Amino acid sequence: GDKTMIDGKLTRMDADDAFAGEIASVAFDFPFTMVPNTHKRKDSHPDYVIEALTPKNRAIRIGSAWASQSRAGNDYFSLALNLQQGVVRANAVKDEETGAGEYRIIPLMPVTA
């Protein structure tokens, strides 16, 4: 298929509904974790917070994620990641190539007329 400028993967971990993720482009390539948002009080609040490690191993929040379901009834995640070039919105979806507990990260590119 056609190659997007950003590639990534999300994998469910054994513990506490947490996920290990990775996202890469020509400019960056880093791992992140997605963990349940323990501060969620309203429906609009994200279901998950996304964190990455700084070069000095400090965890910093770089985004949010919402658990969603497609019209066909498939579970997916809607992600907003604050990366070097600004906020990247993406969906983490299952497809033929993803294994159990795996999701592929597909960036939502701006639609051009």
27: in domain: yes
Write the pLDDT tens digit of every residue in 66-112.
999 999 998 999 999 987 777 888 999 998 889 989 999 998 865 44
Please answer whether residues 102 and 96 qualify as being in contact, where contact means their C-beta atoms are separated by less than 8 angstroms: no
Beta-carbon contacts of 20 under 8 Å, excluding residues fewer than 6 positions away, are: 10, 11, 13, 31, 32, 33, 34
46: in domain: yes
The beta strands (E) that lie in the chain are given as 7-12, 19-24, 29-36, 48-53, 59-69, 75-83, 86-93, 102-107
43: in domain: yes
pLDDT of residue 40: 94
92: in domain: yes
User: Which range of residues forms the domain containing residue 23?
Assistant: 7-107
pLDDT of residue 113: 42
Output 29 or 13, whichever has higher pLDDT: 13
Question: Average pLDDT, stretch 39-66?
Answer: 94
Output 41 or 15, whichever has higher pLDDT: 41
Write the pLDDT tens digit of every residue in 18-44.
999 998 888 788 899 999 999 999 999
Q: Rounded to an integer, what distance in angstroms lies between the CA atom of residue 104 and that of residue 48?
A: 17
pLDDT of residue 110: 54
Structural domain total, the chain: 1
pLDDT higher than 60, residue 2: no
- Through-space distance between the first and last CA atoms of the chain, rounded to whole angstroms: 22
